[in-house]
């Protein structure tokens, strides 16, 4: 049942959800009003009626005891209360003889006699009381006077009903006003949410269809932040698409050059012509360009491969990174023999496979070899690997985009090396960072905490 309700709610739009909430609120309020509040209003009305009875009866008794003139008490009577002055000597007689009626007489003489007799004989001495006659409720109160009389004050139920209805109407009207104001406020609030959401939806639809779109939402809340994030995302995607297109053009050109060279040299050799002095030297040119081509293709394949491994979770640090670092140094130190590659290695173990990590270290070292002036320092400890060089410093903008795919370097090349570094590190649960030092650039690989 709960699952069905949840599915039904999910299918409603915001306006329908609002109407449902308002309906449930009104229903709960009505149930509360008619079950709980109604009884409390009855108690409040009865208490108020008894308070009126006590006040008017006290005034009447005080005047009666000070003056004793029953006829003048009519000036102190209330139009909704009947006072009965009863002789106490007749309390237990069969018939009540002495009854003075002060105020309006809502009942005939026989009814008054009956009310007085039953009231005094059955309930004298108790607190405020209710008398029922022919289905009609009569509130009354009794005061024993100092001389031979008792005062019984009766309140007709008509006034009580009118007072209760007036109070109920006031409460109901106030409730409807509150609910109405709440409903209008909620509608305006939901409208202020739906409009920008529809703007965002239309903006995304236009972007998806390749149309020119503009999104202007002047808000400082979460919707405004969402709109700003979408705009920034669109600008970033647009920039990445532009850079990627340019990258594809450059990669195509980089691949085209060795392919063209290999093709032309092979055709020349087939025709018995050696473009580069001799057969061996011409073949060496073909091998060199084939190696370049192989390396570029391998980089693209590695970048794609690491993308498929992103969901692999680290299971333990068992790979000795110092062994990999030493192998990379051995193979790379002949590239620039004028540089000093100085290792300061302490035991360090990472999670992952050897080949991706070797490519990662090679790519960072290649980047350092390209820019270093005289020295590269490799440091490892229990938690991280650091590779620094004494090359030129980088701008903050360059550092922020350094590990993005398809980013152009300072030399104008679209290398994939550092993007592969980032992909390997993130795949195995590590992070790579670059920062400027006083006299060079530092790359740090460390585990994500």
pLDDT of residue 67: 63
**Through-space distance between the first and last CA atoms of the chain, rounded to whole angstroms:** 43
CA atoms of 356 and 302, how far apart (whole Å): 8
Model confidence pLDDT, tens digit, residues 414-427: 457 788 888 888 88
Mean pLDDT of the residues in the chain = 76
Q: What are phi and psi of 232, to 5 degrees?
A: -65, -40
Closest CA relative to residue 163, chosen from 37, 32, 33, 49: 49
Model confidence pLDDT, tens digit, residues 334-378: 777 788 888 999 999 998 888 889 888 988 998 888 888 989 999
The CATH class of the 319-447 domain is alpha beta
Closest CA relative to residue 363, chosen from 402, 323, 319, 309: 402
Classify burial at 269, counting beta carbons within 10 Å of its beta carbon; exposed 0-12, middle 13-18, buried 19 or more. Answer: middle
Note the CATH number of domain 243-308: 1.10.287.130
The pLDDT-based confidence of 434 (bands split at 50, 70, 90) is very high
The pTM of this model reads 0.44
Q: How many CB atoms lie within 10 A of CB 319?
A: 16
Whether the predicted pLDDT of 57 surpasses 90: no
Contact yes or no for 243/225 (Cβ under 8 A): no
Whether the predicted pLDDT of 386 surpasses 90: yes
Model confidence pLDDT, tens digit, residues 146-188: 667 777 777 777 777 777 778 777 877 877 787 788 778 877 8
The pLDDT-based confidence of 76 (bands split at 50, 70, 90) is low
pLDDT of residue 433: 92
DSSP state letters, 368-427: HHHH-SSEEEEEE-SSEEEEEE-S----HHHHHTTTSTT---TTS----HHHHHHHHHHH
Considering Cα of 179, then 184, then 187, then 188, what sign does the dihedral take? negative
Considering Cα of 65, then 68, then 71, then 75, what sign does the dihedral take? negative
Whether the predicted pLDDT of 311 surpasses 50: no
Domain coordinates in residue numbering, the chain: 1-216, 243-308, 319-447
CA atoms of 336 and 374, how far apart (whole Å): 10
Model confidence pLDDT, tens digit, residues 317-337: 688 999 999 988 887 877 777
Whether the predicted pLDDT of 197 surpasses 70: yes
């Amino acid at each position: 049942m709960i699952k069905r309700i949840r599915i039904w709610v999910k299918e409603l739009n915001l306006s329908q959800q609002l109407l449902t909430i308002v309906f449930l609120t009104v229903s709960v309020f009505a149930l509360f009003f008619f079950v709980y509040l109604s009884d409390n209003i009855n108690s409040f009305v009865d208490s108020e009626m008894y308070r009126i009875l006590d006040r008017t009866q006290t005034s009447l008794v005080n005047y009666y005891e000070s003056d004793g003139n029953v006829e003048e008490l009519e000036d102190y009577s209330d139009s909704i209360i009947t006072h009965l002055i009863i002789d106490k000597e007749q309390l237990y007689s069969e018939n009540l003889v002495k009854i003075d009626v002060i105020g309006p007489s809502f009942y005939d003489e026989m009814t008054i006699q009956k009310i007085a007799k039953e009231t005094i004989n059955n309930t004298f001495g108790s607190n405020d009381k209710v008398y029922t006659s022919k289905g009609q409720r009569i509130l009354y109160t009794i005061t024993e006077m100092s001389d031979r009389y008792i005062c019984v004050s009766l309140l007709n139920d008509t006034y009580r009903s009118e007072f209760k209805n007036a109070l109920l109407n006031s409460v109901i009207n106030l409730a409807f006003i509150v609910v109405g104001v709440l409903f209008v406020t909620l509608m305006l609030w939901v409208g202020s949410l739906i409009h920008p959401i529809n703007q965002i939806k239309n903006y995304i639809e236009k972007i998806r269809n390749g149309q020119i779109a503009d999104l202007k939402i002047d808000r400082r809340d979460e919707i405004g932040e969402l709109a700003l994030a979408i705009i920034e995302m669109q600008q970033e995607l647009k920039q990445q698409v532009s850079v990627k297109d340019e990258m594809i053009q450059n990669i195509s050109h980089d691949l085209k050059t060795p392919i063209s060279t290999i093709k032309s040299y092979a055709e020349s050799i087939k025709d018995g012509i050696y473009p580069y002095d001799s057969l061996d030297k011409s073949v060496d040119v073909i091998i060199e360009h084939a190696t370049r081509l192989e390396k570029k293709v391998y980089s693209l394949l590695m970048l794609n491969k690491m993308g498929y491994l992103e969901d692999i979770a680290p299971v333990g640090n068992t790979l000795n990174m110092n062994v990999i670092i030493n192998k990379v140094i051995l193979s790379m130190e002949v590239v620039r023999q004028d540089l000093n590659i100085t290792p300061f290695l302490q035991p360090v173990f990472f999670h992952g496979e050897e080949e991706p990590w070797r490519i990662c270290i090679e790519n960072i070292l290649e980047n350092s070899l390209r820019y270093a002036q005289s020295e590269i320092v490799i440091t490892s400890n229990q938690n991280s690997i650091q590779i620094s060089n004494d090359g030129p410093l980088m701008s903050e903008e360059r550092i922020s985009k350094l590990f993005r795919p398809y980013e152009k370097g300072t030399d104008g090349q679209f290398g994939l090396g550092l993007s592969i570094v980032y992909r390997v590190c993130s795949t195995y649960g590590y992070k790579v960072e670059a920062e400027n030092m006083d006299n060079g650039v530092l790359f740090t690989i460390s585990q994500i905490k």
